[in-house]
Structure 1
Amino acid sequence: MARDYYEVLGVGRDASAEEVQQAYRRLARRYHPDVNSDPAAEERFKEVGEAYHVLSDPKTRARYDRFGDDFRRIPEDYEERVAAGAGVGGGWARGGRGPSRDARVEPGFGTDFGARFGGAGFEDLFGDIFGARGAAGPIPGADQEAELELTVEEAYRGGRRRVTMTGPDGPRSYQVAIPPGVVDGQRIRLAGQGGTGSAGGQPGNLYLRVRIAPHPRYRPDGRDIYVTLPVTPWEAALGATVPITTPGGEAKVHVPAGSSSGRRLRLRGEGLPNPSGRPGDLYAEVSVSVPPKLTDRERALFAELAAVSTFDPRRGSRG
């Protein structure tokens, strides 16, 4: 019997989707073959990937919670089929192949699982869906979803990247086209790269959900980007045009005279691109910085300014 997926990720059965994702990211980084040379790491990495694949999808997780290891054998529309009478002669055979398998079955079914469906055993109820008789016809593969972490610069310029992911069938590599200007939470579709279909069914799609990694300089918010702009006291007081680094390269920003820390200056269109509309903006937040160590001349000038100025920032006006 396979290990419990919650145990694999080290989370409780009541873990939120965010907790499941955090556990997966932590373990995937630890056991990824590129960073862990332990021979057992690759197998552990595959196990973690399979557990996340199941628990990250709400519908799949609900079926796993309900049926345990048997969840893959049960079609998504089984409730509708049972309600329609399919389990009592409406298209699901009752071949009498033994008692139902009541291990890891939903609480409430108990050992009378077969009796409640007209005496049909577990195999009878669900075997035809996947068996040689093919009562359900071709079954398309399930859509799958994984996370793709990008830097702000990668999200800005787009491009191509080879991504290796581990699923139930082992590691697979994909060449992913990243459109310029993708935002956090956006999905990139890889057609036909999801779950394998049965009985001639078409494969599902693989969706890569973009996550923008934390950046030491940029703070994205949708398509807008926020960045701290350090300025000198005299630039803030007198005004200046200063250089600023953006994901698209260097730009110039005008700091109005009398700017204080926290003032926000907007550079239109310098945020993340938008292939179908207006690009985001870049917001430079002024941060007044003083020299960490003054020269004698600088000290004298600051002392002179202190002697003649009547400005009191604690009162918000001149004294």
Structure 2
Amino acid sequence: MEYKDYYKILGVDRNATQDQIKQAYRKVARKYHPDVSKEANAEAKFKDAGEAYEVLKDPEKRAAYDQFGANWREGQHFEPPPNWDAGFEFRGGGYTGGDASQFSDFFESLFGRGQAGGHRRQTFRMQGEDQHAKIVISLADSYHGAHKTITLNRSTVDPNGHVSVSPHRLHVAIPKGIIEGQRIRLEGQGLPGYGGSPAGDLYLEIAFEEDQLFHADKRDIHLALPLAPWEAALGATLTVPTLGGNVQLKIPPGSQAGKKLRLKGKGLSSGSHRGDQIVTLHIVIPEATTEEQRKLYATMAQKMPFNPRAELGI
């Protein structure tokens, strides 16, 4: 079965008002009325226009059609969603003067088929769609847990078909230890449902803002720690920052650049899932700016013969 683009059939924009839709329908209906049009496919186009108007003139049916058709193009093969269970009151479509039995299988698959010569009214029920957004937090927010207030734009369609966008403020609890890529589910904060059905949910995907000191790899937190050459050679006990505050870290004598030391439990932790802080040593060579300092380096070269390129065979 092929999807029908009712807006395209009437030649109107998806944000058209009810008056614009009505005028467009009358124009198309006059053009293709079988009594006046000589085109071979006039009757089919006339029926399509009546079907399109039957849906777009009714705010409830229009909203349902818009929600379902957001990702479809005219002519694409489609299957209606399994949770559609709807019926609507049919009053005849202006120039058509008929009932819903005139309409296509596409219409019937979405809205049911009315009884010829009469009316049928049931409640259209469909749960609201879920929505997805991204929320950017600091590593400290995840480490300690936090509360945030966010503002999202929400689109609504009034009974006249006017689309409006208004800000929607939400208070969000950030769970302690949440990691990048995980989602927070806010029940009932998605798009509203129809016919008394519940609203969809809002899913907020976590992203971390850039931090000057740390970066996260899942639950582990990484820190590059600068060392003076003598601290690396002789060993030292240094103050090291973590997300939970400063701690003391023992640097083993003879440590080389790139060596990794682990601070257990100092990463992002939630319940039994515990992360560590990984400290990578980075040796910083001080610049010799005086004659005395240059002599000191020369003395080291004489008293400590060392070839850092020995592994290269040179």
Instruction: Report the TM range for the smaller structure's normalisation.
Output: 0.5 to 0.7
What does 1:1-319 correspond to in 2, within 5 Å?
1-2=13-14, 64-67=70-73, 78=80, 97=93, 120=104, 123-127=107-111, 133-134=121-122, 136=124, 138-169=125-156, 170-274=166-270, 276-316=271-311
Does the CA-based 8 Å contact 1:93-1:125 persist in structure 2? no
RMSD: 3.7
Residues 93 and 175 from structure 1, CA distance in 2 versus in 1: closer, same or farther, beyond 3 angstroms? Answer: closer
Q: For 2:284, give the aligned amino acid.
A: S
The residue that corresponds to 1:51 in the other structure is none
Q: Deviation per CA, 1:25-73, whole angstroms, max 9, x where unpaired?
A: xxxxxxxxxxxxxxxxxxxxxxxxxxxxxxxxxxx999534247xx9xx
| Structure 1 stretches lacking a partner, 5+ long | 4-59, 100-116
Residues 191 and 283 from structure 1, CA distance in 2 versus in 1: closer, same or farther, beyond 3 angstroms? Answer: same
Q: Deviation per CA, 1:114-155, whole angstroms, max 9, x where unpaired?
A: xxx9852755543459x983355x322122111011111222
Cα distance in structure 1, aligned partners of 2:83 and 2:170: 37
Cα distance in structure 2, aligned partners of 1:77 and 1:196: 23
Identity %, equivalent residues = 31
Q: Deviation per CA, 1:147-199, whole angstroms, max 9, x where unpaired?
A: 01111122211111111111224210111111111100111121211110111
State the 1:292 CA deviation: 3.5
| Structure 2 stretches lacking a partner, 5+ long | 1-12, 16-65, 96-100, 114-118, 157-165
Cα distance in structure 1, aligned partners of 2:173 and 2:146: 6
Cα distance in structure 2, aligned partners of 1:298 and 1:62: 75
Does the CA-based 8 Å contact 1:262-1:287 persist in structure 2? yes
Which one has more relative contact order, counting CA pairs under 8 Å at least 6 apart? 2
State the 1:228 CA deviation: 0.4
Does the CA-based 8 Å contact 1:92-1:125 persist in structure 2? no
Select the structure of larger CA radius of gyration. 2
Does the CA-based 8 Å contact 1:128-1:135 persist in structure 2? no
Does the CA-based 8 Å contact 1:92-1:124 persist in structure 2? no
Higher helix share: 1
TM-score of the superposed pair, with normalisation by structure 1: 0.62
Q: Would you identify which runs of 4 or more consecutive aligned residues in structure 1 move more than 6 Å?
A: 90-96
